[in-house]
Structure 1
Amino acid sequence: MSAREQNGYTVEGAACDAEDDELELTIATLQSLEAEPGCPNGHALDPHVAVGAGFSCDRCSGTVGHGTPLYGCRDCNYDECQQCYMRTVHKHLHVLAKRRATAKDLAGAEALLSRAEVASAAFWGKHSKEYATSMTSLGALYIEHGEYDQAFKYCAQAKPLAAACFGTQHILYAKCVNNLALLHKRMGMFDEAEDLYRESLSIKAVSVGRQHEDYATSLVNLAEVSAQTCKFSEAEAALLQAREILFKALGEKHVKYATSLNNLGYLYKLMGAYDKAEPVYMEATRIRAEVCGSQHPDYASSLNNLAVLYMVMGAHDKAEDQCLSAKMIYEKTVSSHHPERIVCLNNYANVLLRAGKLKEAEEVFLQVREIRASALGESHPDVAKSTFHLADISAVMGDMQKAEERHQTVLHMSQGHAGLLALRCECLRSLASLYIKVSKFEEAHSLLLEAQEVLAMSHGCEHPEYAKLLMNIARACMKTGRFKAAMGNILFAAQIHQTSLNLVLAALPEPRRLQYIASMDEDTSRLLTLAVKHVNTFDSIRQCFHVVACRKHLVFDASLYGSALGDPLVAHDARVETDFAELRALRGQLVQHLLSEGTAAEALQSAPPAQFKHLVARVEDLERKLGKFLKAPGSLCFESNDALQSVSASLPRNTAIVEYVLFGDMDSDTSGGTCTIGHYAAFVVEAGQDTASLLDIGHADYVHALVDEFLGATRQTKRVAAGLTLRRLVLDVVVAILRPSAQHLFIAPDARLAQLPFDALPCEVGHVLDWELTLSYVVSSRDVVGWNDINKSRAQSYQFRDAPASLVVADPDFKLEAASSDDTSINTEPLVDWGCAPVFQALRGTGEEGNMVANMLARAQHEPPKSLTGPDATVNNLLQAQGPPILHVATHGFFLPASGIPKSATRLHQSLRHAADPFVRCGFAMSGADTWMRGRKPPPCAGTGILTALELRGMNLKGTHLGVFSCCDTGCGHAQRGEGVIGMGRAAMLTGAESVVLTLWRIDDDSTPALMKNFYEALLLGFGESGPLGRAASLRWAQRRHRERGEPFSNWAPFVLYGMHHGLPGHGPA
């Protein structure tokens, strides 16, 4: 039984074997012959006749009468009758034909089978078993040729003939049925193919049994047709059964078992279950590499499958890598018209398209279409698919007339074609998008409604593609003024997306989780545009808030995997602890590898060495693996399906929260493309209230300009003017709608607003800092719901005074070097001259601050704090800390933007400037940092002296009530729409810290100790009868005192508190 790949499935191929009994001719004999069989010793047989009686056939032992034709070898005294001789010739021709077909010599195989057909018809007649076998084999060969008219002629004749000669339970009859089914499937006649495959399956259940590999192959055939007609549940059941049969029959290390995994992965991709598809595909690829080798077409097929999956998932770089690798293998191993090579070529065209190489992509698409039309005919489904690709690329290139013509051609070809429902739907959507671009909105709306009917019928109403279609319809509704209909479609799509998020995020490595979430940004923008400008009802705001709050916190959730906070979410499994430990260690190695490269960082990014590639691959594998042990990301957001209810019920009494969100104003989307005009809105939720308010803040460009002017102004008057306008725009509108009893406002900022110290905004008299309303910050609204979980898990008798020792890290020895007996150079290459001045200078104020904080903590807790100062303040010592109640760090901090760094910058900048992960571009300078910056070698315990946020995520800060990062720029980081700030604060909260004090810019070493003294006085000691204050109130009080002493704005304004605002447990206001 032969097999080949088709549309991602490996299915049973056309059967061209002779009868299944073993041939008596040995392989050695066959190899020595070309067209005629011989005696057992390989000599040619000469024809003669039997003379007299007593002759017998040496092959069948039958008696041969006088005058009977014989074929014999005088040298070997060997004779056989004509019947045996012709049967041997017939079998021999079939075996040779099969060998030629395997060697891709289809013309040679056809000549041999044609000879067998003529011989069998002449000797046994056209109703014989031998003639039926020849017809079956020729039909199968023409299917492989792609000559479907000839194939149909032979297959249609072979089926009834085989039934008459062998019976309907014989294996050859099953092969005839299978050939006809395969032919109908290739011709796009899926209903007929399904009926035939079911007949073949029932025959094999009797002839070979339900645990035989041939039965499993028939299950795959049936599943492939079921999937083509969108009967996904039936297809999945068949493929899972086939996989189990093959595993038991052949074992894991077998190419057919790998093929069963490939089939299952392809089905999951069709279903939109990408989290299931990728690991199955990867396992199939691994097995094929081991069994077939890395230059085999089967291995290329697996790479091709992965490429398609990655394109669907939006991971275009990975898709291109896999596609090019597969293409190179196919070019070396198969002909230019081979079906798998054509599929790969088509995928390569898609890669070119996504890379913006439109002309090259169109040329490849045209090449694919010509090959398919020549082999399959103009009406074949694959030709329709190629035509659609050309229509799509014409639209991208701006040739609207050609694009419309090609779309209409595809719609005509797909009309009434069951196997092209998905293509028809996609074509309708694509043509609708084309009409939107040319302002034919009503025509677009009609096409999308037809597409909705088709997709609901083919995929159902819970499929991710259905959600995408709903968003298309919403877009058309907005263009035609149907705003309520648009809102309904978007909210329905959001529900479907939430389900797919739960499935997908757990299976992706972290960077791709964030990438996947970002891909839904336009959908969220369209929803917010409607809610802010067109459908501002209580119910629409409630539902919109739920979507936005879930999406915004999902970015935080997506980073939980592999962080300490993710541990309690993991199912109890011994393997997980080891994997988490390995992941943390590998992340540290990645950072150290980057730092060790120094000025070679650019080369590292363009051509990473093998070790770095291995580290990255292993980290991604672990992130993907650990994701499967975690709860679905959606379950981390809100227990109920109503975020407003959860947040309102969780807010402390007399408090409120404002959730700022930056979105694209889709009303300005006039071209049909993605909108680039930003707009701010704000959701306001008060404790115990059933409704939320949605405020229109204004254009993002205007807000950002004010933020830049306020933070960058060198003159007091200019800063005050910008600050007053900014306060009225982003804060006064919020405060104006709060109840008079509101005492605390939690701010969940977004994008550039995350870099704004709201307390420092000026008023007509003083600052917001002087208001009775206290401000503090959270990542998203979901944070306040999490506080309830923390409070419930903490014992009622828990007191901060009785907690384990806190940790103070201050005044590192930046010049710490390895012992003089060690080799003080990092490598034998000439060291880069980084200048004479220290890059990380000693900070006298941090030493004073560390001593002061340690003394105050010693008075507040029974167990004195642990201090890491001077040479002890190393990266390794800090990372070993386990949940100190308070973690205070006073040292140099840094944040490196992704661009705009001069090439003459420091070694740290040169090493990390191209790091894609924002968690790598920010951190602390620890002992030995300046030594490393100068190209010298710190002691092994100090590493490079650089601690990044990525490494900080490997800590366990569960049980840490407060982190105080009294360093420059610890509140800075990667600020994007819907993500907040990804930096040191985010890393600390991912590791389990309840709250953290951060700085939004560089802080003054001389004045900061005094501010920290005031902060800890309020937090730990309090004032008279009032007792200690809450965390947010303590920081606010310290900032006021600092300002009242006449300290400049830049010295007190940058400090902000993220997270829980309460007092320390048992030590302040709850």
Structure 2
Amino acid sequence: MSGKELQGHCLRGSQVTKDFPRNQDALVFKAMGKLVAFIFCFFLADLALSQTIYSRDKLTLLADSLHVEGFYQEALSLRKQAVDEGKQTSKAYQTYLEAKYYHTQSAYFENLSYDYYNPNAAISKNQKTTYLDSALIAAKKAQKTYASVKHPDKKFQYQIQNRIYHQTAYLGNWKEALAEAKWGYEILKDTLSENDKTFVDLIYDIGYIYSQLGDFSKAVENYQHSLNLYRKIVGENHTDIAQAYNNIAVEYRNLGLRQKELQSLLKAKQIWEKLNREEDKNFLYKCYGNLFYWYSYYGDFEKADEYLLKKRKLREDDFSITEFGFLRNKEEVYKDELLENHDLMVYYRQRKDTAKSMVYLSKTLKTLRGKSSLQDFEVKHLIAALKATGELEQTSNVEESISCLDKAIDLADKYQLQYYTNSFPLKLQKLKLLVEVTHDQFAFSELCSQLEPYMHAQNSDGQFQFWLLKAKNARFNNNEKAASKAYDLAFKTLLNAPEKPLDTIEFQDLKPLISFETVQGLLDMAEFHTILFSLHDEGKELDKAKVKLLLASKVYNELYLGNRYNDELYNVNKRLNTQLLECALLTPKDDLFLIRALNAVENGGAKLTWSRFIFNNQRQHLKIPNELLEKEDELKAQLNFYQKKVVNEPEVSEDKLLLWKEKIYQLKEDLSLLQDSIKIKNAAVFQWNAKEFSITEFQKSLLPNQAVLKYVMTEKKVFPILISNKTLKISKPLDAALLNVQLKSVLEILKHREPNYSEPLANLSHLLLDGTALNSFEKITIVPDGALYYLPFETLYLDKKMPDISYTSSLVLFQAQGYSNFSSRQVQIGAFATSPETSRLFHAHEELVSILAEFQGEAFYNATRQQFLNKANDFNVLHLAMHSEINGNSPEFSSLIFDGEDRKLFISELYNENLKASMVVLSACDTGNGFYENGEGVISISRAFTFAGVPSTVMSLWKVDDETTQIIMKAFYKHLKKGETKDLALKNAKLDYLESTKDPLLKHPYYWSGFVVAGNTQALVANHHYWWFLIVLPLVSLILFRKKLLQFFKK
């Protein structure tokens, strides 16, 4: 079982009244009043109406109505009476009455079988089967009886057929059910239009039956057809639509279409949550389970936790054990426990927590092993558990791993005819083990020979993985020809048109197999082609590598949701970047591929900081309705409240902690939906940001004296990339291990004020900057990666030739920050300072006084957190002189420390703010420091202000000296007042400090290099020197012209 094949599925198009499970005996008493009223109303109605080709008698009319309402026992009594009284009618009508009797009898027995799911009248499974057998016998009698009618009523004929395929399916005979359902389709296709819901329900049910048979492509085809038709009939927000989305998502998973799977699940969830009906909770429960499973696969464990919590909340709801719930009897509880164990096993395996994964795996194996007979769901769970054991044991106990996989394969083969289990994915897993661990060539060849004859019957994802494994095995045996052939076959399985020439293939030519497995497979191919190029210098091999690398980047970008990076995304992206840049270095003259490779690197990078900055920065120009803003503020306040509860009360009970987490998840979702609505209503403002990054467009935005130096750090290499308005160059890769050793040593020297720093800094400068051709540029923006985030590059110069240096976390963010021009002519500074008695900042007061001597604004001494939040948007520059606190365990609960009782302003709170300032200066310790998160960069206070929409931040990389900070900040604002750009002003402030400081110890880089500027570096005030230039230039020109004129006349 490669997931949850049964999760969320159900047959739909049944004419039996299935407010099931229904207790038929209790129903007679509960609904007696309803029945009496119904009969009374019926006899007042016009009985002359005829809805069939027959002129029906009064008893049949009443029985038909009772049948439709679900009163089968009463209807059956009337049917018998009608048969007895109809013996004087035509032979055809007598046959019709007899068939009607058997049809109602069939519905009666089927309805009794639903008591298996009724907590108040639960029957045994054997009794359920007996009722279904009786129901099917009666339905087939109806079918046989009515077959003799020459001109049958097609609708009634289909009603009989509907019962037959449902009951056959409920008894587990899916192949026979498919044949019966298809016969039902033949009956209806010329009778009802595709806009009739009865017909659409049948198409949906055929899709469900195909799913049970393992024909996932056919299942998708029918589900999608029914989905399109349902929209026309019931609209988008209907439970039928949601069920179709949920079920088609499961098939997408089975087909390897992971992106489509998520899209469909989210649509189903949105509909059911919006409908908010009790009767849909069982479907929503299954949908949450599917979402939990998907996000576990994707590596977003916070989201997975959210859906696990939602699922558990529904399970604890009293509704779950009612007659409309999903834990109505021991079997449903048992199924749910098995499913929960399976999901948690997968979840912890994805989290690399083998011990916990084995705990849940053991529970399943302990429950199922040794059972003499297994039901269909037990077989599938046991197969999944054995497969997982094989995967987990393959490094520590290969023999046990193979044994478990063989047992799983035997089980799948044993139950293939009975439960339609498929051993192909299990054999693929065994092939993988044989290739990667045991290298048993005989076993590998034997297993391949078993699989190849059945390849045509497998889905594209299965075929793709098979040929990849064959290629991998051929590479292990140094068989280039066999590997090349297998890779070609693997690639063709991805294409809509396999014969299309390689050089014309674009992303849209691929099948929608958007998954990590597809990306890794394409990277394997590209790696192989690159190796062949290196060995044989065959240009066509490198061309193949380039095509597959660019396709891999496109698939990856489609898979990446644009939210927070995780380890799964990071590891795949790191490999992708390595191969793209190495390939670009192999062909230095191929400028087009270099451009496309760098675009791919940037487009595949983390987008969370960029997207949050864009939203909060651009919304400042919008007129958002007050009611939306008030609702947003309310959600933010509640979210901040519960987040602080979690961090401030760690000893709270587990139940209360889960309640708070549930509140946080729901508030985040509500806030996200509200903010999405703002984006949708202002699509013209936000849509331009959705376009892909273009390195050539980025180059056009750079000044002639400006360069960007981007570092891409991979597992073994660091790639320096120089970008200017005329240059695009990847320098020779650095050794990542060597760089990390030197970098760690230098950072220790800087932070601990160790002497003899010149030589280590010179060595690091040589490593990082030599070969980058930076000498001709006056302004340099660094895009760091990995531990380089903690390094101030100014220390690599140590002289007056130091360029103007700034920083950014990505090119796409830097480009967006550059568009945020400082529009106000009047600088207004909000300066906030605190100096607690336990840790005094003696120079903070003086610092604020000096700043406000240069610019207009207001100082807030002993500022409180609430004061800052209330006043921050009154200013276009914010200056904060205070302590900060780094939380190593939970980086997003790092904080700025204000005065007052509620002193801490957490990073997580700033994430949700919308600030109008064009620059924030964080004159506090460690504001650019924090925990480094793969792909995302440093989770710092500075980053939080970028989230909040501030395009420019000045921050500290370590605990800075109070007195030195005041000196540098004073000089920084003086230079800003002169109209200097922020990077130039900060450089000059540092140089001023070095010139004015006589003590050699205080010239240590620890004191002056810790502050850096990130983002937009434009000047705060216009530089007015050019006005003098405009005045003087004509005068000088006039004097020169006059002199030349006099010389001319003197000749």
- Fold conserved (TM > 0.5)? yes
| 1:732 and 2:770 correspond | yes
Q: Shift in Å at residue 332 of structure 1?
A: 6.3
Tell me, yes or no, if the aligned pair for 1:320 and 1:348 is still in contact at 8 Å. no
Partners in 1 of 2:17 and 2:914 — Cα distance? 64
Give the aligned residue type for 1:423.
G
Question: 1:525 Cα deviation (Å)?
Answer: 2.7
My pick for the range that moved more, 484-493 or 582-591, is 582-591
Offset, 1:267: 7.1
1:490 is matched with: 549
Shift in CA distance, 362/401, structure 1 to aligned 2, threshold 3 Å? farther
Tell me the equivalent position of 2:198.
214
SS in 1 for 2:771: helix
How far apart are the structure 2 equivalents of 1:852 and 1:383? Answer: 76
1:693 aligned residue: 729
Question: Residues 699 and 83 from structure 1, CA distance in 2 versus in 1: closer, same or farther, beyond 3 angstroms?
Answer: closer
The one-character-per-residue Cα deviations of 1:405-424 (angstroms, maximum 9, x if unpaired) are: 7963783464332x634332
Cα distance, 1:727 vs. partner? 0.6
Of the three residues 768, 772, 780, the one matched with 2:798 is 768
Q: Quick check: 1:243 aligned with 2:227?
A: no
Q: Distance in 2 between matches of 1:404 and 1:349?
A: 28
CA distance in 1, matches of 2:872, 2:143: 87
| 2:523–2:549 Cα contact (<8 Å) kept | yes
Mapped partners of 1:85, 1:783: distance in 2: 75
Aligned partner letter, 2:451? L
Q: Report the Cα distance in structure 2 between the residues aligned to 1:384 and 1:179, rounded to whole angstroms.
A: 27
Query: CA separation in 1, counterparts of 2:644 and 2:758?
Result: 44
User: Which of 488, 493, 498 is 1:454 aligned to?
Assistant: 493
In 1, the alpha carbon distance for the partners of 2:17 and 2:831 equals 79
2:861 is aligned with what amino acid? T
Q: Where do 1:78-227 residues align within 5 Å?
A: 90-91=102-103, 93-102=105-114, 103=116, 105=127, 107-109=129-131, 111-112=133-134, 116=138, 141-147=167-173, 176=180, 178-180=181-183, 199=186, 202-203=189-190, 206-207=191-192, 209-221=193-205
3-state DSSP of counterpart to 2:872: coil
Q: How many residues align?
A: 877
User: Aligned pair in 2 of structure 1 residues 106, 453: CA closer, same or farther (>3 Å)?
Assistant: farther
Answer yes or no: is 1:262 the counterpart of 2:246.
Answer: yes
Query: Helix, strand or coil: the match of 1:996?
Result: strand
CA RMSD across the alignment: 5.0
Aligned equivalents of 1:131, 1:780: Cα separation in 2: 66
Q: CA 1:84–1:117 in structure 2 vs 1: closer, same or farther (change >3 Å)?
A: closer
CA displacement 1:346-404 (0-9 Å, x = unmatched): 76764465354477554267788677655541895744345546666787886867994
> Which structure is higher in helix share?
2
Match of 1:1039 in 2: 990
Q: Of 865, 871, 880, which residue of structure 2 is paired with 1:874?
A: 865
Tell me, what secondary structure is at the counterpart of 2:885? strand
**Which segment drifts farther, 634-643 or 699-708?**
634-643
- Return closer, same or farther for 1:756/1:380 CA change in 2, 3 Å cut-off: same
Matches within 5 A, 1:404-419: 404=444, 408=448, 411-412=451-452, 414-417=454-457
Query: What's the offset of the Cα at 1:990?
Result: 2.8
Residue by residue over 1:8-46, the C-alpha shift from the partner in whole angstroms, topping out at 9 and shown as x without a partner, is 655556889999977479799999989x97699xxxx9x
Question: Which SS does the other structure have where 1:415 is aligned?
Answer: helix
- Offset at 1:995? 1.9
Instruction: Tell me the residue number matched to 1:472.
Output: 524
Q: Is contact 2:720-2:733 (8 Å) kept?
A: yes
Q: Is the 8 A contact 1:1014 1:1038 kept in 2?
A: yes
Classify the secondary structure of the residue corresponding to 2:604: helix
Please tell me whether the aligned partners of residues 414 and 420 of structure 1 are also in contact (alpha carbons under 8 angstroms). no
Render the CA deviation track for 1:310-345: whole Å, top value 9, x for unaligned: 345333575588689699887864759999999888
- Counterpart check, 1:781 vs 2:816: no
On the 8 A contact 1:467/1:497 being kept in 2, the answer is yes
Summarize the alignment of residues 26-425 of structure 1 with structure 2, pairs less than 5 Å apart: 59-60=84-85, 90-91=102-103, 93-102=105-114, 103=116, 105=127, 107-109=129-131, 111-112=133-134, 116=138, 141-147=167-173, 176=180, 178-180=181-183, 199=186, 202-203=189-190, 206-207=191-192, 209-221=193-205, 228-229=216-217, 236=224, 238-247=226-235, 252=238, 255-263=239-247, 265=249, 270=257, 272-273=259-260, 276-283=263-270, 286=273, 290-292=277-279, 296=282, 298-315=283-300, 319=304, 333=329, 335=331, 350-351=346-347, 353-354=349-350, 356=354, 357=357, 362-363=385-386, 373=413, 376-377=416-417, 380=420, 382-385=422-425, 387-388=427-428, 404=444, 408=448, 411-412=451-452, 414-417=454-457, 420-425=459-464
TM-score, normalisation: structure 1: 0.70
| Partner Cα separation in structure 2 for residue 402 and residue 307 of structure 1 | 40
2:713 aligns to what SS in structure 1? strand
Unaligned runs of 5+ in 2: 19-51, 53-59, 117-124, 321-325, 363-383, 389-404, 498-507, 534-540, 1027-1051
User: Are the aligned partners of 1:654 and 1:744 in contact in 2 as well (CA < 8 Å)?
Assistant: yes
| Paired position in structure 1 for 2:366 | none
Q: Do the aligned residues in 1 keep the contact of 2:13 with 2:162 (CA within 8 Å)?
A: no
Q: Within 2, Cα distance between the matches of 1:715 and 1:847?
A: 26
Q: Percent identity?
A: 15
- SS at 2:834's partner residue? strand
1:643 aligns with 2:694: yes
Q: Quick check: 1:919 aligned with 2:892?
A: yes
Distance 1:23 1:583 in 2: 56
Task: Give the match for residue 567 of structure 1.
Answer: 619
Residues 858-897 of structure 1 mapped to structure 2, 5 A cutoff? 864-870=856-862, 872-878=863-869, 880-882=871-873, 884-897=875-888
Q: Residues 692 and 126 of structure 1: is their aligned pair in 2 closer, same or farther, counting only changes over 3 Å?
A: same
Cross-structure match for 1:932 = none
Consecutive unaligned residues of structure 1, counting only runs of 5 or more, are: 46-55, 66-80, 156-175, 182-196, 665-677, 762-766, 816-837, 858-863, 898-912, 929-937, 1023-1027
1:810 matched to which residue of 2? Answer: 833
Provide the C-alpha distance between the structure 1 equivalents of 2:207 and 2:550, rounded to a whole number of angstroms: 34
Deviation of 1:972 (Å): 0.7
Match of 1:825 in 2: none
Distance in 2, matches of 1:698 and 1:556, equals 27
CA offsets per residue over residues 404-451 of structure 1, 9 Å max, x none? 47963783464332x634332333335545666777665444333212
Equivalent in 932, 936, 957 of residue 975 of structure 1? 932
Aligned to 1:745: 780
Alpha-carbon offset, residue 715 of structure 1: 7.3
CA contact 1:116–1:134 (8 Å) conserved in 2:
no
1:477 partner SS: helix
Q: So what's the TM-score if we normalise by structure 2? A: 0.71
Deviates more, 1:222-231 or 1:874-883: 222-231
Q: Deviations over 1:434-476 (max 9, x none)?
A: 6667776654443332122122139951632565542332133
What SS does the corresponding residue of 1:609 show, helix, strand or coil? helix
Q: Is the 8 A contact 2:818 2:1015 kept in 1?
A: no
In 2: Cα distance, 1:434 partner to 1:316 partner: 34
Return the letter of the residue paired with 1:919. Answer: E
Q: Which residue of 1 aligns with 2:1020?
A: 1064
2:574: which partner in 1? 521
Aligned to 1:828: none
Report what 2:666 is aligned to: 617
Is the CA contact 1:94–1:116 (under 8 Å) kept in the aligned structure 2? yes
Alpha-carbon deviation of 1:1001? 0.9
Deviation at 1:927, TM superposition (A): 0.2
Q: Is 2:910 the counterpart of 1:952?
A: yes
